[in-house]
Amino acid sequence: MSKRKIRNMAEFATVSGISRPTVSKYFNDPGSVRETIRARIEAALEQHDYRPNIYAMNQNRRLTKNIGIVVPYLADPFFAEIARRIERRCIDAGFSPTLFSAHGSPDLETGILDSLRSLKPAGVFLAPLGRASDRAQVESFCRDVPTVLFDSNLDGIGDVFVGHDNLQAVGLIIDYLCRTGAPPCFFEMPPLNPNANKRREAYHRAMERLGHTPQVIRVPGDSWEFESIGYRGGLEVIDSGQLATNTVLCSNDRLAVGFLAAAYERRLRVGHGPDCALRVAGHDDHPFSRFTCPPLTTVAQDYDSIADQSAEILFRQIEDGSRAETRQDVLFEGKLIMRSSA
Amino acid sequence: MSKRKIRNMAEFATVSGISRPTVSKYFNDPGSVRETIRARIEAALEQHDYRPNIYAMNQNRRLTKNIGIVVPYLADPFFAEIARRIERRCIDAGFSPTLFSAHGSPDLETGILDSLRSLKPAGVFLAPLGRASDRAQVESFCRDVPTVLFDSNLDGIGDVFVGHDNLQAVGLIIDYLCRTGAPPCFFEMPPLNPNANKRREAYHRAMERLGHTPQVIRVPGDSWEFESIGYRGGLEVIDSGQLATNTVLCSNDRLAVGFLAAAYERRLRVGHGPDCALRVAGHDDHPFSRFTCPPLTTVAQDYDSIADQSAEILFRQIEDGSRAETRQDVLFEGKLIMRSSA
DNA sequence: ATCAAAATTTTACGCGCGTCAAAAATCAAG
DNA sequence: CTTGATTTTTGACGCGCGTAAAATTTTGAT
């Protein structure tokens, strides 16, 4: 290493004996400078460990390498996981992702979108809060910045939506549940986003199609602490004898985790065996669902495809600088994950 | 709203009839400009919706409002939760936090520290990877930027460490376990960070103190998928009859969740009742531990105090611009959380 | 109305880097 | 050793804003 630290690109250009614009060119694309020059720069780089200031870089660039990733609630393992995958793909593609969580708050969400404008991102992955989102803000943001909406669809907003085929997925698991036992009731909380609504609708449709009468059980709750809501609601539902069937399809896995805890507390054995009192199924296959007791039968979202496709679409859009003409919806099918809870 | 968008502070200064430096002053601290001026600026603000570019703001400032938060693995609910709390405290204190996850990779960690230098943060909350961290990099970073280390201590590095008193906490739960049943064995994986080592040591000490012979069971695993490691290791341990006791103290809750799943699969009833075959306890009280089946008995880390103190210490350090003379360790006691698993 | 204190404006420069045009250097062929 | 094409250098400006010093205005109290 060298004696004193390099403070900026000009200093580094001096010590490496190359002009600053050329050094700048190198950092933008090492392949764009001549072999001999590149070697000299890289030699100097080993001597002096200098890195361009990424925020200054993006100050006056036509196209930055910044990518924003926005999720509604990062402490939710589902979003933590999907964000992790998207982040990795950004890094692999040479972008600098920055992760934001709205922590369930609409104000924070619009605040994040404002910060993002300052970042001048080349593109953004946005999983909006859903119902609570400030539609106007999101819409205006999507007009200004190439944005891929994922997970939660806001119709008419943005160029592309990549998500989960709730209709198919719910149909799939209901089919399975009905073939293997009693038709399920649907256990949900007040919907925070369109997925919840779509799932309920899909439940109705599937039950109708199969000739069963639907039973929707909605329990109260308005936070992102789904396990807690499922637990409390589960206790209430069990104790009041509201269950018309022994099979419970939960709107999502976290709710199911709470319900399982309630069933356990009430000593109801959950599973598909003959000695079980209750079958419980979830939706999403979130990262810890295979470790519940019993392991949770559920429909998996196709994490990989959603992350891959979102990334691919956004990166392509960034490359050719074109905004899509028509809005595009990309949905991936859910996969049935048969475990022992149902 | 106005006809055309304001592109920068100069334009906004023009339309509001105030000089740019004063406008700048206003955005730095609205209270620092005269009443009438503030009113005029705020009037213009309602007309034109302009926001300063936060990254340009921090370009040439003596002290920025940026705060970095770095955690080793964000998909771990513990870190998601603690990060969420710290983030909120930053926002409440008027800072702009940016969240980074090393995703378990040392390279990413040092990459993050490099990006952070570009951000010129006023301060950083850093929960290092631990063993895998590039010590030299972290040390150099801490010298340049006011940093509060939390969760994982790297001795001698940084000015302050805020964390959990593993010695006390492990002693506490072992006391409890021994008073209520058989002395526990200690179930762990190869340690990723100092906490794991401290907990094992504390286990040894406590067992010694109480006159019991310790049994440490280490299962293989080197990823951050603790549940999976605990599950696989749990199956192995149960099947091979390695358990010399019916009480298992896991190194952390996530490992315990995996162990619970293994026990369930092997039809071992877990709990402290007379009809139970096994007692299982964890450590951390991570957000979902109360929803396991059975609910997990554990020692809680004091999330709130850790987040509060970390924040308070860093903010104070930022305010008076002083670096601590002597290194300071702040530890918070664990609380015993008695649930039904042990 | 008078005057000192406080605030604002003017003017100018800096942060770290992107980018562009023109001039100079380097390169691959011939 | 030319010639023409490609790169690099030079010089200059821009991004959006912070900051500092001096000149000017406003304020509030006398």
At CA B176, angle to CA B218 and CA B170, rounded to 5?
A: 45
CATH 1.10.287 for the A9-52 domain, yes or no: no
DSSP track, A104-172: T-HHHHHHHHHHHHHH--SEEEE---STTS-HHHHHHHHHHS-EEEESS--TT-SSEEEEE-HHHHHHH
Share of chain A above pLDDT 90, in %: 79
CB A18 within 8 A of CB A40: yes
Q: Cβ of A189 < 7 Å from strand D? A: no
Domain with CATH 3.40.50.2300 in chain B: 64-163+303-331, 166-300
pLDDT digits (tens, 9 = 90+) for A70-125: 999 999 999 999 999 999 999 988 888 999 999 999 999 999 998 999 888 999 99
Q: By the 8 A CB rule, do B226 and B255 touch? A: yes
Q: Which residues make beta-bridge pairs with B70?
A: B100, B126
* Beta partners for residue A297, in sequence order: A281
Please give, rounded to a whole number of angstroms, the shortest distance from the CA of A210 to a CA of chain B. 33
Inter-chain touch A77–B74, beta carbons under 8 Å: no
Please say whether the beta carbons of B249 and B278 come within 8 A. Answer: no
The pLDDT value recorded for residue A1 is: 53
The domain B64-163+303-331 having CATH identifier 3.40.50.2300: the answer here is yes
- C-alpha to C-alpha distance for B199 and B180, rounded to whole angstroms: 21
Instruction: Flag whether residue A58 sits within 8 Å of chain B, measured between CB atoms.
Output: yes
Distance CA B69, CA B84 (A): 10
How far apart (Å, rounded) are the C-alpha atoms in residues A214 and A247?
12
CA of B66 to C1' of D2 (A): 59
Residues from chain B contacting residue A91 (CB–CB below 8 Å): 108
Residue-by-residue DSSP string for A281-313: E-SB--TTGGGSSSPPBEEE--HHHHHHHHHHH
> Would you say A127 and A79 are in contact if contact means Cβ atoms under 8 Å apart?
yes
B83 touches chain A (CB under 8 A): yes
| Residue B127 beta carbon within 7 A of nucleic strand D | no
What is the architecture, at CATH level 2, of domain A166-300? Answer: 3-Layer(aba) Sandwich (3.40)
Contacts of A118 in chain B (CB under 8 A): 51-56
Is A339 in a helix, a strand, or coil?
Answer: coil
> Average pLDDT of chain B?
92
Cβ-based neighbours of A77, under 8 Å, separated by 6 or more: A254, A286, A287, A288, B75, B77, B80
B335-337 and B298-300 strand pairing = antiparallel
Q: Is B60 on the interface with A (CB under 8 A)?
A: no
Q: Which of A134, A291, A296, A339 to mutate to test the interface with B (most CBs of B within 10 A)?
A: A291
CA distances A85 to A302, A309, A311, A324, B80, Å, are: 12, 12, 10, 24, 16
Contact B290 A261 (CB under 8 A): yes
Report whether pLDDT(B322) > 80: no
Q: Residue A279: pLDDT above 70? A: yes
Nucleotide nearest to B60 (CA to C1'): C15
Q: Kindly report the backbone phi and psi dihedral angles of residue B54, in degrees, each rounded to the nearest multiple of 5, phi listed first.
A: -65, -30
Distance of CA A247 to the CA centre of its chain: 28
CB pairs under 8 A between A and B: 110
CB-based contact B115 A96, cutoff 8 Å: yes
Which DSSP category does A272 fall into?
S
Residue A152 pLDDT greater than 90, yes or no = yes
pLDDT of B320:
74
Nearest Cα of chain B lies from the Cα of A54 at a distance, in angstroms, of: 6
Q: What is the pLDDT of residue B282?
A: 97
The B residues from 213 to 242 touching A (CB cutoff 8 Å) are 227-228, 231
Q: Model confidence over B67-100: pLDDT tens digits?
A: 999 999 999 999 999 999 999 999 988 888 999 9
Are residues A80 and B81, on separate chains, in Cβ contact within 8 Å?
no
Q: What pLDDT is attached to residue A36?
A: 92
Do the beta carbons of residue B78 and residue B135 sit within 8 Å? no
Say whether residue A260 is in contact with chain B using an 8 A CB cutoff.
Answer: yes
Q: Tell if the CB–CB gap between B295 and A261 is shorter than 8 Å.
A: yes
Proximity of residue A14 CB to strand D below 7 A = no
B23 closest CA partner among B36, B10, B35: B10
- Predicted model pTM: 0.91
Give the closest residue to A283 by CA, choosing from A184, A148, A162, A155: A184
Contact present, B241 and B177 (Cβ < 8 Å): no
B8 touches strand D (CB under 7 A): yes
Average pLDDT of the segment spanning A202-231: 96
pLDDT at B274: 86
Residues from chain B that touch A231, judged by Cβ atoms under 8 A, are 291
Whether B132 contacts chain A with CB within 8 A: no
CA distance B205 to chain A (A): 32
Residue B324 pLDDT exceeds 80 = no
Mean pLDDT of chain A: 92
β-strand partners of B217: B187
A61 CA, D7 C1': separation in Å? 22
| pLDDT for the residue numbered A319 | 81
Q: Contacts of residue B293 in chain A, CB cutoff 8 Å?
A: 260-261, 264, 292-293
Question: N- to C-terminal Cα distance for chain A?
Answer: 62
Cβ separation A261–B51 shorter than 8 A: no
Residues of chain A with CATH 1.10.260: 9-52
8-state DSSP, B320: T
DSSP B200-263: HHHHHHHHHHTT----EEE----SS-HHHHHHHHHHHHHHTT--SSSEEEESSHHHHHHHHHHH
Can you tell me the distance from the alpha carbon of A80 to that of A301, in angstroms, rounded to the nearest whole number? 14
pLDDT for position B317: 87
Tokens of A122: 């080349």
Residue among B60, B199, B218 nearest B130 (CA)? B199
